[in-house]
Structure 1
């Protein structure tokens, strides 16, 4: 299949103070990354503040939520924050939405909000998009949905501009190809961008990433995990091109732990 031009993002949380966060934003722009993406949970500064600050110290870098968890806000509040970020960043904000991890149940309770059923959380995402479109008027905030299940894939295909393929870390290529077919069927004639997040660059899994994904490097390698990118520089570039050819993935994000290691690929492939 014909692919879109590559672009790349960095996923980072403002965990160690404002100065380091702003350095990360400036460095991401210097290295040619297209976006700086910020996760969302109560243990981190809110993406609203972090992304506004990052946009203020950069010129062209886009900023995005990765992703706003629907249990942590009402749909209207999420849309308000999102439209506000689009305005104050000069339309450099990309709204990423998701239903949140199971741990969000307790965080929603802390905020006095219902966690909701899976369908209710998806409905909230859909309503958020509708509110954003109304608030934007003639403007258009790009919306990304992290689509892990079949209902999320159908919603993403129908309403999102960008769809992140959010299967499990051991999801096979064949399974992922099936997910892409579902998304494209739901999208119809709509032009969508497909994205994938990479947790590991190389063959060493940092302990905190291993704790998050629940598997070690050997398991990722054994299962040919799409959340890992390894080998020589040429091998990694060829693998990204293969993923674009086979799956249509052209937007690739990487954890900030690998921002420097991944940068040569950004320089080589961005816009191509």
Structure 2
């Protein structure tokens, strides 16, 4: 059965800010390459999301902006609602709010914040979602967002987060990875990933067709020799898998632009995933794929 219903949409996770001129120019370049959303992750050691997003929105015309994703444990829901509404006003209604539990223990320690159990972090994420969405929808809350509802993305891999996302979010973000004991991300096999998607779609029930499904791609390489690239990455990361298994990982796109586009079309048919996020270093490589997929959706 084909699940393809939504047109493709493309986001890019930006990782560094150096000067206002450079950042504004890069934001405009992202827009010119055909991306739909400029995103900033929430980790210590890289730029603070909201100032960077407001500046990017001011430098562009149609580009939507959002954190991908905010660590809910690092923010107060009342202050977060104020930030979201303010940047939504400054961007003329182009904000998308991404939230997650946070998973890097060292960042909690560096910030002087307790690192709770996974269950308590999910509880806190649920409380944050409920409070922020309530505030943003309340007529008496000021500042008011431009959008009647600021799109909410919840990202994760575990049952509770995916169920929460499926039931309450506008966008469900898959990581195609599980969190290891040391806070590192371990890639999911294609079989395990398909099970996660099926779980989330089942949890969404009647909402499934209204939800937008997103996947973060960790590796994108446009090449005529995918096996060589796979072997290099397996050696680099010391992964216990064959090149064929590596190339089949859901968060990996290696091949010609046409092959990658075909794989994403098949992914959309099989899972309903239509919103793809890539990392800033592969902007230029991924742009031809965007063009091919736009042609398919015309």
Q: TM-score, normalised by structure 1?
A: 0.88
Residue 182 (structure 2) aligns with: none
Is contact 1:65–1:95 with CA below 8 Å preserved after alignment? yes
Residues 109-258 of structure 1: matches in 2 within 5 Å?
109-137=109-137, 139-168=148-177, 170-190=187-207, 191-202=210-221, 203=226, 204=229, 214=237, 221-223=244-246, 224-258=248-282
Post-superposition shift, 1:165? Answer: 1.2
Post-superposition shift, 1:134? Answer: 2.3
Query: Alpha carbons of 1:217 and 1:268: their partners in 2 closer, same or farther (altered >3 Å)?
Result: farther
> Deviations 1:18-54 (Å, cap 9, x if unpaired)?
3332222101101110001111112112101100000
Is contact 1:166–1:196 with CA below 8 Å preserved after alignment? yes
Residues 45-60 of structure 1: matches in 2 within 5 Å?
45-60=47-62
Could you tell me how far apart the structure 1 residues matched to 2:202 and 2:12 are? 29
Could you tell me how far apart the structure 2 residues matched to 1:31 and 1:87 are? 25
Could you tell me how far apart the structure 1 residues matched to 2:125 and 2:20 are? 29
Q: Which moved more, 1:2-11 or 1:55-64?
A: 2-11
Q: Which moved more, 1:8-17 or 1:57-66?
A: 8-17
Post-superposition shift, 1:172? Answer: 2.0
Query: Alpha carbons of 1:112 and 1:12: their partners in 2 closer, same or farther (altered >3 Å)?
Result: same
Could you tell me how far apart the structure 2 residues matched to 1:217 and 1:47 are? 35
Could you tell me how far apart the structure 2 residues matched to 1:63 and 1:101 are? 23
Could you tell me how far apart the structure 2 residues matched to 1:55 and 1:220 are? 40
Is contact 2:27–2:38 with CA below 8 Å preserved after alignment? yes
Is contact 1:79–1:128 with CA below 8 Å preserved after alignment? no
Could you tell me how far apart the structure 1 residues matched to 2:81 and 2:243 are? 37
User: What is the count of residue pairs matched by the alignment?
Assistant: 267
Is contact 1:200–1:228 with CA below 8 Å preserved after alignment? yes
Q: TM-score, normalised by structure 2?
A: 0.81
Task: Give the alignment partner of residue 96 of structure 1, picking from 80, 98, 119.
Answer: 98
Post-superposition shift, 1:124? Answer: 2.3
Is contact 1:132–1:141 with CA below 8 Å preserved after alignment? no
SS at match of 2:206: coil
Could you tell me how far apart the structure 2 residues matched to 1:198 and 1:51 are? 21
Query: Alpha carbons of 1:141 and 1:40: their partners in 2 closer, same or farther (altered >3 Å)?
Result: same
Residue 71 (structure 2) aligns with: 69
Structure 1 residues not aligned, in runs of 5+: none
Residue 13 (structure 1) aligns with: 15
SS at match of 1:230: strand
Is contact 1:194–1:250 with CA below 8 Å preserved after alignment? yes
Could you tell me how far apart the structure 2 residues matched to 1:52 and 1:141 are? 15
> Deviations 1:170-225 (Å, cap 9, x if unpaired)?
312222221112112221222111111112222558x9x99xx9457986653311
Structure 2 residues not aligned, in runs of 5+: 140-147, 178-185
Could you tell me how far apart the structure 2 residues matched to 1:129 and 1:27 are? 32
